[in-house]
Structure 1
Amino acid sequence: MPVKLQEVVFYTTSEACRLAGTNRNTFLRWVREGKFPDVAHRNRNGWRLFVESDISRLKQCVNLVQKTTDE
């Protein structure tokens, strides 16, 4: 469930990946391999927190990968 703080909505990694249409493990691999920049926000436990712009970038990345694999 997204969390709203000071009018900004934050999503967990699993929520963001579900919205973007990719698997959480795939996203984490992309970050490790430097194919996707890590997000700027983390909670006190060190877990990634995504904002809408992060999810939009992730969707673009997913669409690009799907486009290249369809060719």
Structure 2
Amino acid sequence: VIVGAFIATKEFRILLIPITVTLGLVAGDLITINAMLLEANAILASLIMIPLTLIYAFSVVEWWKGSD
């Protein structure tokens, strides 16, 4: 498995770059939406953004671990 990981490193990095950039952009969007909702209503922002943030965090952790 370790040897296979080193063999596929270049192709794997090419695949990971757009995924990583996209996850970063999604995180930025979540922060922007949270800031806008906090200006309007803090309770509503909490009710909407906490579940979305948890789903995002768990998705990133599962992707990082390599399991779907």
TM-score, length of structure 2 as denominator length: 0.34
Query: Which protein has greater RCO, CA pairs closer than 8 Å, 6+ apart?
Result: 1
Query: TM-score normalized by structure 1?
Result: 0.33
Structure showing the higher strand proportion among its residues: 1
